[in-house]
Amino acid sequence: MRSILKVFLLVCVVCFATDAFAQGWWGAVNKPIPAQTGTFTIEFDVVPRDTSVFRTHITLSQIVPGTQLENGWHDNAIIIRFKWQDHTVDARNNDTYTTIDEFMYFTGESYHMRLEVDVATQTYNAFINALPDGPEALIADGFGFRNNAVEAGLGDEINYLNVMVPYTDEATGVTDTGSDLKNIKILDADGEEVWTDPGTEYVPGADFNITIDAERDDFFNTLTGPENGHIFLPAVATGTGTEPDDNIDCSGLVWFAWDSLYFYCYAEVTDDFINVNNGTVYENDCIELKIDPDPLMETTSGVAAVRLTAWGEADAEEPDGVDNLVAGGELDADWEPVEGEDYARKPVYTDDRYGYNLEFRLPFEKIVREDKYVYNEVGSIMGMAVNLHDNDEGSREAALRWAASMDDQVWANPQLHGTVTFLEGNKIQMEAVNSAGGDAVNENPEWYIPPAVAVEDEAPQTPLAFELSQNYPNPFNPTTTISYSLSQREHVTLNVYSVTGRHVKTLVDQDRDAGIYFITFNASDLSSGIYLYQLQTDSKVETKKMTFIK
């Protein structure tokens, strides 16, 4: 799965955060290009998203997963800055820059950039012209790279083209919309075209209305499982401490959503004793998110974290144990959350449930740790672990956990986190598989499939029928969950076959009552490829495909 993500997703790494630039949230669409080590030319069209406030940075760089350089700079960097407001274009090198002030033709809807690069001598020339037929101008002549490769002990090459995503400058309040890069092509030293790509396009999450009031919004009723941002944390999913007696002792339903500005979390927790009576915040009843802002950096540190305790200061037995998202100091960006706007909590005492609801939102620009930032675009990813803490007497007795690993070190090591993929329609996909260079895979994804949850005015449930569901996750590595339902008691077989029809494994061969069943299939001893799984009873048969990728 990690290889698929790396190849097909536009990923985010930290590209800009030095004193040479305005302080704010900097992130980029990073476009992988074929590694270049000699002389080459790269050309592309620059398309502003909003020419009225257009300002952006474009960078060619060397990115080596797993490295973390000072100030967020990568190993080589060619930096070009465009600024619409005063018609300037800067070429930057080690905090020195040349400015072209009289770009009076710099008024079109898009521009063409040509960079002539010599990796061996660490120099480049940059040219720009307004499309479709403006004159070409030289804006950088023989400039050197910003070069960290030597001190990092790494080889010299260029392997990424980067363009800034929209951001707001905290010092000035100005929002810059950035740009998209289109029609990218690379030419070799002889001028022969060797690679083309249609380019990058930033697709933010659609804004939508979530009220932070610790009540379930209508949107959350549309989410059905981990595949679109809804999970169950049962007692059995205990990662730290002693497993609660049952789901009444402690369990939780959790929903997630996102838009262009915020990451949202809403939880309905069942808990027989609600306590905030310990001066250490994580020892109390709370929900806690551990976030790896940029898993494709493949680091073993840099975890951002927030938690919201079940009680606030007014109701807590120990007020010092209250956390309103920032008490743990695990975000590098300053933030003062506002109750009723950024977070809310509510006790619930009904015939159906004794517990509490929690709801909060996190500004993406505040989810920062060790110069790692979240790139919140459709198709991009971040790492995450979800913990639900249970304090029945005076300290944390259990942490129910969703992650790629149940190890308690999820608090510090992003290579134990699961993977969150940002989907269209404000939804996310949650896979309990690591994408940060680790090999952690949760062996029990079926734990997190929510039970049926009643919704007001919901139509009566359809009677159970014979049905084989698509496995989840799919593709998978090495485990996946297969679910099926039966309308009556029958003898059932569930077999796995190769695409050539060779029998691989028998997962079920027994009598089963009417109901819904979940089976975990482990393919670690098989080769990558497409497999068939077939459910058969005395009267019916159904077959589906699944893809295993090591």
Beta bridge partners of 116: 41, 125
Residue-by-residue pLDDT tens, the chain, 550 positions:
233 222 222 222 222 222 222 222 345 666 788 989 889 999 998 887 766 666 677 888 776 655 544 444 456 667 676 665 444 555 544 333 334 433 333 445 678 889 999 988 888 888 888 766 667 777 777 777 765 544 444 457 888 887 776 666 666 666 666 788 889 999 999 999 999 988 876 666 666 778 999 999 999 999 999 999 999 999 999 999 999 999 999 999 999 999 988 999 999 999 999 999 999 999 999 999 999 998 988 889 999 999 999 999 999 999 999 999 999 899 998 899 999 999 999 999 887 789 999 999 999 989 989 878 888 878 889 999 999 999 999 999 999 999 999 999 999 999 999 999 999 889 999 999 999 989 999 999 999 999 864 333 333 344 568 889 888 788 888 888 888 888 888 999 999 999 888 899 999 998 888 877 778 888 888 988 899 999 999 889 999 999 888 8
Strands 88-93 and 193-199, bridge-based pairing: unpaired
Radius of gyration (C-alpha) of the chain in whole angstroms: 26
> From the centroid of its chain, how far is CA 423?
10
Q: Is 300 left (phi over 0), alpha (psi -120 to 50) or beta?
A: alpha
Q: In 10 A of CB 525, how many CB atoms?
A: 8
Instruction: Measure the CA–CA gap between 247 and 249, rounded to whole angstroms.
Output: 5
Q: Could you tell me the domains of the chain?
A: 2-199 (2.60.120.200), 218-448 (2.60.40.1190), 467-548 (2.60.40.1930)
Q: What are phi and psi of 26, to 5 degrees?
A: -115, 135
Q: Are 191 and 41 in contact (CB under 8 A)?
A: yes
Instruction: Measure the CA–CA gap between 416 and 399, rounded to whole angstroms.
Output: 15
Give residue for tokens 């015939």. Answer: 351
Q: What is the pLDDT of residue 24?
A: 28
Q: What are phi and psi of 226, to 5 degrees?
A: -55, -25
Q: Are 292 and 305 in contact (CB under 8 A)?
A: no
Per residue in 398-440, pLDDT (tens digit) is 999 999 999 999 999 999 999 999 998 899 999 999 999 899 9
Among residues 403, 428, 401, 429, the alpha carbon closest in space to that of 417 is found at: 403
